[in-house]
């Protein structure tokens, strides 16, 4: 994000760039791609660069069952972590060979509309197949001609504030929007749990109720993005820097939970599906926790 943003600002220094900038800024007002299915560019997703990044951690896929490329799924990704590296590597790039592991499955990783307001960065996200997480965008994608699934990082900004190493606190119980979207479109729900996502950075202590946390929550409420205060490692040292730690991220795909299409589902039905979803999420966590989270300090905690 900072690199693309600085590049954009730097272009103002060079008069030869001005015509391009003028056209580009006009284009920003005109372009509706983020809410209309995105604009993935396959060669950008397939760049070798992403394979190197994915193998640094490494990010790996753990598959519980085959998924049908002609079905439109709603994937819930947990936890958000500081910046969801695992989600970006698996769903935004071919760094982990996603299209070979789940043959023919097409999808869009969804993120906040705000991210598409940042010049150049937005175009990179679009090229990686990201789209807006608004309701309109979800519905649009799930009804495109080519069967296409969506991936929602359910916990979002609130969960990022609890992304502390060796713990997994999820913001989930009150988040029923993604379940409703699935039911309204008759799409099966697939819980995805990424072990290690919370271990990639150190976040400064911000316990619930502290002044830092209250500020972060107010900021989050009005700006929509959360400001976790974090650090990782440097290139030549392991103690401090902006690089993520070199820790494995194992992304486990649970079994799909079928939903019955209903445009106005009852509260009971939504809760019933949510129960099944949480049960499956808990099952994959328990099944793999001793392999991929052997050094955890607390168990999975599912919060509101």
Ligand X SMILES: *[C@@H]1O[C@H](CO)[C@@H](O)[C@H](O)[C@H]1NC(C)=O
DSSP 278-293: HHHHHHHHHHHHHHH-
Distance CA 56, CA 46 (A): 17
Q: How many CB atoms lie within 10 A of CB 174?
A: 9
* Cβ at position 296, least distance to ligand X in Å: 11
Distance CA 247, CA 119 (A): 31
Identify which range of 69-77, 122-130, 160-168, 282-290 contacts ligand X by CB under 6 A.
160-168
SS3 160: helix
6, 10, 28, 301: which one binds ligand X (CB under 6 A): 301
Distance CA 106, CA 126 (A): 15
* Cβ at position 301, least distance to ligand X in Å: 5
* Cβ at position 61, least distance to ligand X in Å: 8
180 forms part of the interface with ligand X (CB under 6 A) = no
Q: What are phi and psi of 226, to 5 degrees?
A: -100, 145
Contact 292, 195 (CB under 8 A): yes
How many Å is the Cα radius of gyration of the chain?
Answer: 19
164 forms part of the interface with ligand X (CB under 6 A) = yes
* Cβ at position 167, least distance to ligand X in Å: 4
* Cβ at position 169, least distance to ligand X in Å: 4
Tokens of 147: 């069967």
Identify which range of 14-22, 161-169, 224-232, 237-245 contacts ligand X by CB under 6 A.
161-169
- Residue whose CB is less far from ligand X, 57 or 73: 57
Looking up tokens 């919060």 gives 303
Site string for ligand X, 88-117 (x = CB under 6 A): --------xx--------------------
At what angle are helices 177-185 and 267-292 packed, to 10 degrees?
Answer: 110
Q: What are phi and psi of 59, to 5 degrees?
A: -95, 130
* Cβ at position 116, least distance to ligand X in Å: 29
* Cβ at position 165, least distance to ligand X in Å: 9
- Residue whose CB is less far from ligand X, 71 or 97: 97
84, 93, 169, 185: which one binds ligand X (CB under 6 A): 169
- Segment 223-282, which members bind ligand X (CB under 6 A)? none
Identify which range of 136-144, 163-171, 178-186, 218-226 contacts ligand X by CB under 6 A.
163-171
Q: Taking Cα atoms as reference points, which of 87, 207, 57, 228 lies closest to residue 150?
A: 87
* Cβ at position 130, least distance to ligand X in Å: 21
Tokens of 296: 């955890």
202 forms part of the interface with ligand X (CB under 6 A) = no
Question: In the chain, what are the helix, strand and coil shares in percent, each to the nearest 5?
Answer: 45, 15, 40
Binders of ligand X: how many residues, by CB under 6 A?
8
Identify which range of 67-75, 162-170, 180-188, 228-236 contacts ligand X by CB under 6 A.
162-170
Contact 194, 82 (CB under 8 A): no
Distance CA 147, CA 42 (A): 17
- Residue whose CB is less far from ligand X, 161 or 273: 161
- Residue whose CB is less far from ligand X, 39 or 289: 289
Contact footprint for ligand X (CB under 6 A): 96-97, 162, 164, 167, 169, 207, 301
């Amino acid at each position: 994000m900072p690199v693309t943003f600085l590049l954009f600002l730097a272009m103002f220094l060079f008069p030869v760039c001005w015509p391009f900038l003028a056209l580009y800024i006009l284009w920003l007002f005109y372009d509706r791609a983020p809410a209309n299915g995105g604009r993935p560019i396959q060669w950008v997703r397939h760049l070798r660069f992403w394979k190197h990044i994915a193998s640094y951690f490494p990010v790996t896929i753990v598959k519980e069952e085959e998924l049908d490329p002609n079905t439109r799924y709603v994937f819930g990704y947990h936890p958000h972590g500081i910046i969801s590296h695992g989600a970006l590597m698996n769903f935004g790039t071919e760094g982990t060979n996603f299209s070979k592991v789940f043959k023919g499955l097409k999808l869009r990783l969804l993120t906040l509309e705000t991210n598409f307001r940042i010049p150049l960065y937005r175009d990179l996200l679009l090229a990686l197949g990201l789209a807006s997480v608004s309701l309109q965008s979800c519905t649009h994608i799930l009804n495109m001609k080519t069967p296409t699934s969506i991936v929602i990082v359910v916990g979002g900004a609130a969960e990022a504030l609890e992304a502390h190493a060796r713990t997994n606190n999820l913001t989930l119980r009150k988040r029923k929007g993604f379940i409703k979207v699935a039911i309204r479109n008759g799409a099966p729900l697939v819980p995805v749990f990424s072990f290690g996502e919370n271990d990639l950075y150190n976040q400064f202590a911000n316990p619930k109720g502290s002044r830092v946390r209250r500020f972060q929550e107010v900021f989050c409420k009005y700006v929509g993005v959360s400001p976790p205060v974090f650090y990782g490692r440097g290139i030549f040292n392991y103690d401090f820097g902006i690089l993520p730690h070199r820790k494995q991220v194992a992304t486990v795909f649970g079994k799909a939970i079928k939903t019955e299409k209903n445009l106005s589902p009852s509260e009971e039905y939504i809760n019933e599906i949510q129960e099944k979803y949480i049960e499956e999420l808990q099952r994959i966590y328990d099944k793999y926790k001793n392999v991929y989270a052997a050094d955890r300090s607390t168990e999975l905690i599912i919060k509101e």
